[in-house]
Chain A
Amino acid sequence: MTLPPYATLGQKIWHYTFLVICGLIFFFLIAPILTIIPLSFNAENFFTFTPGMLAFDAEAYSLKHYRDFFTNPDWQQAVSNSVTIAPVATLLSVALGTLAAIGLSQSHVPFRRAIMAIMISPMIVPLIISAAGMYFFYSRIGLQGTYLGVVLAHAALGIPFVIITVTATLVGFDESLTRASANLGAGPVRTFFKVQMPLILPGVISGGLFAFITSFDEVVVVLFVGSAEQKTLPWQMFIGLREQISPTILAVATILVVISIGLLTTVELLRRRSERMRGMTPG
């Protein structure tokens, strides 16, 4: 953003004020995340910067919290739970959410708005309420404290994201493409996989990413629906914070930040590629 040559003094002042405001907002958002990164290399078992760290003394830094994370069976179980539960829940969310979005985009479906509202309600209802509701419901049908229960609960939380992103992609979807496909002899299934799916893929991928992050980050529902056996990373972090304030949490947090950045970048690159592949912007 550069100033045009005819900018007045007022506009110039506003221009720089605006940049400062933007900078402050970024700082506010990112600073808390950035401070945990050096802290995770703390040689002491504290959550604070030691004088040695501030003096950049190499002795004050260590990887021992990372070592703890990679060797402690509690953390290792949490990791293995998280990496099994999140992908399965994501797959479920993507499959069901995509189908729901396609169904709800058909003009002949009755009560579309009402159905849509119900489907995305897990995103709007306070999580603690969903979690409590799920707890009572899942206990009744024997899903409480099972992997399946946690997966289903996370899928329910992820579906709204998929519905919303896929619906947004479908808005620009040209209905005549499915007609063309049918006209050329393709049945509904082939049309879905060969024509519709490749074109809405960017929306599906973004939705899937959100669903994955939801499951990966989620602590409230897993506390209710899961038990110690199904503890996920956030669950372990939460318990860890409450019971034994160990900087290992900071090491985990740092690893998660790095993974998140990597994931977002990969998915964004994939999405751009597939958007380029479909060549034209819809509509």
Chain B
Amino acid sequence: MSDARETAFVEFERVQKSYDGETLVVKDLNLSIAKGEFLTMLGPSGSGKTTCLMMLAGFETATHGEIRLKGREINNIPPHRRGIGMVFQNYALFPHMTVAENLSFPLEVRKVGKSEREERIKRTLGMVQMQDFGGRRPAQLSGGQQQRIALARALVFEPELVLMDEPLGALDKQLRETLQFEITNLAHELGITTVYVTHDQTEALTMSDRVAVFDDGRIQQLAPPDELYERPDNSFVAQFIGENNTLAGQLTQMGDHRCLVKLDDGATIDAVPVNVSKPGERTLVSIRPERVEIDPELGPDAHTLDAEVLEFIYMGDVFRTRLRVAGRDDFIVKTRNRVGQKRLTPGQHVKIGWLPEDCRALNG
């Protein structure tokens, strides 16, 4: 723990935030971010993620707790003295200034000489591939171009920490994917620490070193993307990250790495117990749609469930099948479109199964 403290670049310690003095928007936040890390705060709206970012930027004050940057408490430092770069959701480019003037602004504040200013502006515009746009005004640029300029402006004064508040929210899918890639590359190349806020889980998974999943003012899980997807700690994370099937049931038998769950319709399945402990407890079993096999060829003691095909959707690379399983009719199975992959028809009855380790019993 003391090691982590020494290496931590940004630290939240027991931070709480309340706007009205009664309800806590952020409840007891503890988080440490390493230098050079790309950390994403992911969560639904109202989960407290943006508030955390605003507290770090200095636009909101923490009601309680301490926020540290490079080991120094910054609670009482005004935003303009924090030296943190930020990319805003709506770009927040100064509309009355040209692109070059926008980039020049933080340098003028820092009293950087004219020739060095020009040099840095040129270099930074080059990094975001906008070198020819210095004379334009923001209104003459497309959304994607504006976002590149906003990014350049946040980087031009070479901050060690850059915050991004849903910067790609307003862009179309293709542009978003290109920029996701460029932002992560830039961040890693420049070695800057990035705190990225988004409600888009794909974005969080593709860009981050670690993702903090927020809900209800708390971090529900803090983990690298693969761990978050494959080993969610609780049913909120399982539901929020990726597509997920849940089946409700009761824990009947508890082993070390295995447990038995009796579903509400009477069928029994194996699962990995995550945050359940005692037999008799209610549980939500979570299975990813791509881990489910239809008419599986598993061992003789493997548990399978009966299912009825309700809908079969051809999506190109995958087939998406909606099934009725254990009384629920929103059970989704995704199968890859391989040569010879059988296509199901609605009304057909099949068996479904999965490896026990892909099925996680979470708190109900």
The stretch of B22-30, B86-94, B115-123, B236-244 that contacts the partner chain? B86-94
A→B interface (CB under 8 Å): 174, 176-177, 179-188, 190-191, 194-195, 198-199, 277-280
Whether A190 pairs with B109 at a CB distance below 8 angstroms is yes
Whether A180 pairs with B86 at a CB distance below 8 angstroms is yes
Whether A174 pairs with B85 at a CB distance below 8 angstroms is no
B57 interfacial contact with A, CB 8 Å: yes
The stretch of B136-144, B202-210, B215-223, B285-293 that contacts the partner chain? B136-144
B84 interfacial contact with A, CB 8 Å: yes
Please give me the residue from chain B that is nearest to A191 by CB atom.
B80
Alpha-carbon separation in the docked complex, A277 to B98 (Å): 10
8 Å CB contact of B79 from A174, A182, A198, A278: A182
Interface residues of B in 117-161 (CB under 8 A from A): 137-140, 153, 157
- Chain B binding surface SS class: loop
Q: For A176, what are the chain B residues with a Cβ–Cβ distance below 8 Å?
A: 88-90, 92
Q: For B79, what are the chain A residues with a Cβ–Cβ distance below 8 Å?
A: 179, 182-183
9 pairs of A and B residues whose beta carbons are closest in the complex: A279-B139, A184-B106, A180-B92, A185-B109, A176-B92, A280-B139, A182-B79, A279-B95, A182-B80
25 contacts between A and B (CB under 8 A): A174-B90, A174-B92, A176-B89, A176-B90, A179-B59, A180-B86, A181-B80, A182-B58, A182-B59, A182-B80, A184-B80, A184-B106, A184-B109, A185-B83, A185-B157, A186-B105, A186-B109, A190-B109, A191-B80, A195-B94, A277-B96, A278-B95, A279-B140, A280-B95, A280-B139
Whether B138 pairs with A183 at a CB distance below 8 angstroms is no
Please give me the residue from chain B that is nearest to A274 by CB atom.
B96
Q: For B95, what are the chain A residues with a Cβ–Cβ distance below 8 Å?
A: 199, 278-280
Q: For B94, what are the chain A residues with a Cβ–Cβ distance below 8 Å?
A: 177, 180-181, 195
Q: For B138, what are the chain A residues with a Cβ–Cβ distance below 8 Å?
A: 279-280
Q: For A191, what are the chain B residues with a Cβ–Cβ distance below 8 Å?
A: 80
Q: For B106, what are the chain A residues with a Cβ–Cβ distance below 8 Å?
A: 184-186
Whether B96 pairs with A184 at a CB distance below 8 angstroms is no
Alpha-carbon separation in the docked complex, A184 to B109 (Å): 8
B78 interfacial contact with A, CB 8 Å: yes
With A176-B90, A194-B105 known as contacts, the answer to whether A183 contacts B96 (CB < 8 A) is: no
Which of B80, B110, B138, B140 counts the most chain A CB atoms within 10 A?
Answer: B80
Which of B58, B81, B95, B109 counts the most chain A CB atoms within 10 A?
Answer: B95
Given contact pairs A186-B105, A279-B96, enumerate 8 new A-B contacts (beta carbons under 8 Å): A176-B90, A176-B92, A179-B57, A183-B85, A185-B109, A186-B109, A279-B140, A280-B95
Q: For A279, what are the chain B residues with a Cβ–Cβ distance below 8 Å?
A: 95-96, 137-140
